[in-house]
Chain A
């Protein structure tokens, strides 16, 4: 039995990404070593075609493959985030790979495969499909993290990510098995009906807990965040940028689907787990970031803290809460991607300049780069007129609407604590004298375009949020 043609249209973005990924792998051996950058352009073209094919998928909304996959506003929204992140990260990788002397075709192919996996994750409406999507993105990123093969730190990151990632995956799978055992199905709608009819028994609650462990690892929710700083620090910086945005957005998407659609009738069970995890995540992220001297590690802890803020909106468990999560993911992707790519650019050969004191004097020597970085840091901190501010505002507001007051109070205190370490970097850039010579940092067109786009997006989301928020609300509606 062959699936109807319309189902193929619905997974068009994934098909395009995989096709381009394979094309890159096939052509790569015939491209001379000096011209590998052209593979990057091919991969970039692939992401653009995938973005365009979203339109095609949007015209064919609905469930595909007998309820395994679903194209609705929600999945389109998350698709746009993850594909956009990959497109910009590919552009931002060119110079970095040249400097590190690891310009290879597989790098770009792996990014495309990982993105396809994230897309499947975002659209899956069945647990095994979600598992396959999760593994597609994870396995590709395990390799990407260790892409600097001769650098010991990169090896170490890759190993830690691989071991802990597979460990978390095993928990996720065991959770799926128990859910299957309790409800006789792994489809979200059937699971939901089963819970509504028979209530949530101990087997199902255990299964949900194990699924939360697996997904918590991907969205870096405490107490499953321990690997994050090490993996983010050792990975090539553009890969860190992808890790912090793409897989996180996709994993949050599937978590929303699982918790809201499949386990929606059992929300009283998971509410407190999310509540505790949100507080732990915010506090660990912020307090550990206070003492960091390495900017890459600092941003890694900051990404943990932001996962905590997103969990606050998650705990609201309302339509506005879902919309706030989606808005936050989009705004967060723009600012985090920009910040990490600047770290990649300023880092220089072998990532020498990563400490906060290395940024001293950046404001006078490279005013535009410093201005961009300051913008991203202000947005991460949550100053008004930036995407990060409105993301937090909507997130906290949605939680307040549901009378989850203490969580919001703790979140607000945390964002004040966050100000200290973000401003520390800004102060270093503008008010400290440099003790090292600044080599010129030529910025080529692709990187320039990426920084421009992320900066514009950060301001746009902060000043004119209506359009994005409308899309987020429409997406949240389609989830029910």
Chain B
């Protein structure tokens, strides 16, 4: 049996890659995919813990995460569509009317 630490390390690496992608990528769709990657890293951690504890809880949480991620994707892509239509660009650096 593969020890749980392998899964957790993989999950942490995936999450880290998501964070890096979010921070450094300039295309809105890519940033969006980075967020999805982070959510899936969390799912992996849930499933790993669930198997380790022999509980069903973690598996059920994964369903909630998937449903919420789908809802978020629906809204997020609609927002991206509006941006693309109004600006003809998907680069976040062009979306800069207001300064941080």
Point out residues on A near B: beta carbons under 8 Å: 128, 131-132, 135, 139, 142-143, 146, 149-150, 152-153, 155-160, 162-163, 166-167, 169-170, 173-174, 176-178, 180-181, 184-186, 226, 229-230, 233-234
A355 to chain B, nearest CB (A): 14
Extra contacts, 6 of them, besides A131-B64, A159-B95, A173-B65 (Cβ < 8 A), are: A131-B68, A132-B68, A163-B28, A169-B72, A174-B38, A184-B55
CA A163 to CA B86, docked complex, whole Å: 18
B69 to chain A, nearest CB (A): 9
Q: Which 10 A-B pairs have the closest CB atoms?
A: A170-B38, A177-B45, A230-B98, A181-B49, A173-B42, A135-B68, A166-B35, A156-B95, A174-B42, A158-B79
**B79 and A177 contacting across the interface, CB-CB below 8 Å:** no
The chain B residue sitting closest to A143, CB to CB, is: B75
Number of chain B residues whose Cβ lies closer than 8 Å to a Cβ of chain A: 43
Contact of A159 among B8, B61, B80 (CB under 8 A): B80
**B57 and A180 contacting across the interface, CB-CB below 8 Å:** yes
| Sample (8) of A-B pairs whose CB atoms are under 8 Å apart | A132-B64, A155-B83, A155-B95, A156-B95, A159-B79, A173-B39, A176-B61, A230-B98
Of listed A143, A158, A174, A226, residue having the most chain B CB within 10 A: A174
CA A161 to CA B95, docked complex, whole Å: 13
Query: What number of A-B contacts does a CB cutoff of 8 Å give?
Result: 109
**A170 and B42 contacting across the interface, CB-CB below 8 Å:** yes
CA A169 to CA B95, docked complex, whole Å: 22
B51 to chain A, nearest CB (A): 11
Given A128-B61, A167-B35, A170-B18, A177 and B46 contact (CB-CB distance below 8 Å): yes
Q: Mark B34-66, 1 if CB is under 8 A from A, else 0.
A: 010011011001100100110101100100110
**B45 and A149 contacting across the interface, CB-CB below 8 Å:** no
The chain A residue sitting closest to B18, CB to CB, is: A170
**B41 and A162 contacting across the interface, CB-CB below 8 Å:** no
Contact of B39 among A152, A153, A163, A170 (CB under 8 A): A170
**B15 and A174 contacting across the interface, CB-CB below 8 Å:** yes
Contact of B100 among A157, A163, A173, A230 (CB under 8 A): A230
CA A156 to CA B91, docked complex, whole Å: 12
On chain B, the residues within 8 Å of A152 by CB distance are 86-87, 97
On chain B, the residues within 8 Å of A166 by CB distance are 35, 72, 76
The chain B residue sitting closest to A164, CB to CB, is: B22
**A186 and B75 contacting across the interface, CB-CB below 8 Å:** no
Point out residues on B near A: beta carbons under 8 Å: 8, 11, 15, 18, 22, 28, 31-32, 35, 38-39, 41-42, 45-46, 49, 52-53, 55, 57-58, 61, 64-65, 68, 71-72, 75-76, 78-80, 82-83, 86-87, 92, 95-100
Contact of B45 among A150, A155, A174 (CB under 8 A): A174
**A177 and B49 contacting across the interface, CB-CB below 8 Å:** yes
CA A153 to CA B42, docked complex, whole Å: 33
**A153 and B98 contacting across the interface, CB-CB below 8 Å:** yes
**B65 and A146 contacting across the interface, CB-CB below 8 Å:** no
CA A132 to CA B72, docked complex, whole Å: 12
On chain A, the residues within 8 Å of B39 by CB distance are 170, 173
On chain B, the residues within 8 Å of A155 by CB distance are 79, 82-83, 86-87, 95
The chain B residue sitting closest to A166, CB to CB, is: B35
The chain A residue sitting closest to B64, CB to CB, is: A128
**A186 and B86 contacting across the interface, CB-CB below 8 Å:** no
Given A131-B68, A163-B32, A180 and B97 contact (CB-CB distance below 8 Å): no
**B86 and A139 contacting across the interface, CB-CB below 8 Å:** no
The chain A residue sitting closest to B37, CB to CB, is: A170
The chain B residue sitting closest to A134, CB to CB, is: B68
The chain B residue sitting closest to A140, CB to CB, is: B75
On chain B, the residues within 8 Å of A153 by CB distance are 97-98
**A156 and B97 contacting across the interface, CB-CB below 8 Å:** yes
CA A226 to CA B98, docked complex, whole Å: 12
CA A131 to CA B28, docked complex, whole Å: 24
Contact of B31 among A150, A158, A163, A170 (CB under 8 A): A163
